A = this chain, B = another copy of it.
Amino acid sequence: MKRRLGPTERLYPMPTPLIVAGIGDRLGIMAVAWIAIAGSTPSSIVMAMRSTRHTLSLIRETGEFTVNVPSVSLAEAVDYCGIVSGRNTDKFADTGLTPVPSAVVATPIVEQCPLNFECRVMSEVPNGEYVLVIGEIVETHVDEELVDEAGRIDIDALDPLVYIPASREYRGLGPKVADAFKIGRAVAPKE
């Protein structure tokens, strides 16, 4: 039996990257869980932000932002960046997170996050009290020690933080269940 809960926003699991916007010493950083890849032609990303967000106003000034994927070890700093507004405090100073130069855009990436995307805004879509920001991914960075010669990322070493809405908890990844684009081949089409 199913129980009806009405409209909710309980998609599981969610990522919880840190979004950085701004340049120089005028930077915003916030955690966003409503974010996904938007396509591969070009590589792009879409995220929902409340339209009143300080970080969104900074994105609009420069047309750029970075997406910084945290490890489980950064849960405290990520949570702080999700709770507190940067209008009144310097969240980089408060958390010890370090903005370091990007390669393509002027907005910095976060040194402590092992995976980073540099993005340029392509468009915005208003959605009630939220705005969908769609950005082209123009560069990806990964910590050198997490990647092999072929560019394969050691996902267990990267240890990405996972967000679970409604119960409001952070998780890590569990062990591997199966290979994608492979295990499904065991299903035989019915004639």
Q: Are A167 and B152 in contact (CB under 8 A)?
A: yes
Which chain A residues have a beta carbon within 8 Å of chain B's beta carbons? Answer: 1-15, 17, 33-48, 67, 69, 72, 75-84, 89-90, 93-95, 103, 109, 115-117, 122-123, 125, 127-130, 132, 134, 136-144, 147, 151-153, 155, 158, 160-190
CB-CB < 8 A to A6: which residues of B? 139-140
CB neighbours of A187 from chain B (8 A): 76-77, 80, 94-95
Contact of A12 among B11, B109, B155 (CB under 8 A): B155
Most B C-beta atoms less than 10 A away, residue of A136, A137, A153, A175: A153
Q: Tell me which of A9, A125, A175 has the highest count of chain B C-beta atoms within 10 A of its own C-beta.
A: A9
Bound form: Cα–Cα A15–B35 in Å: 11
Choose one: B34, B84, B176; the contact of A38 (CB below 8 Å).
Answer: B34
| B4 and A140 contacting across the interface, CB-CB below 8 Å | yes
Are the C-beta atoms of B43 and A137 separated by less than 8 Å?
no
Contact of A141 among B4, B48, B81, B184 (CB under 8 A): B4
* Minimum CB distance partner of A163 in chain B: B180
What is the bound-complex CA distance between A35 and B11, given in angstroms? 9
14 example contacts (A-B, Cβ-Cβ < 8 A) are as follows: A14-B37, A34-B38, A38-B130, A75-B177, A79-B185, A80-B187, A81-B184, A152-B167, A153-B166, A155-B164, A155-B169, A162-B173, A169-B176, A169-B180
Known: A39-B128, A48-B38, A129-B40. A184 touches B79 (CB 8 A): yes
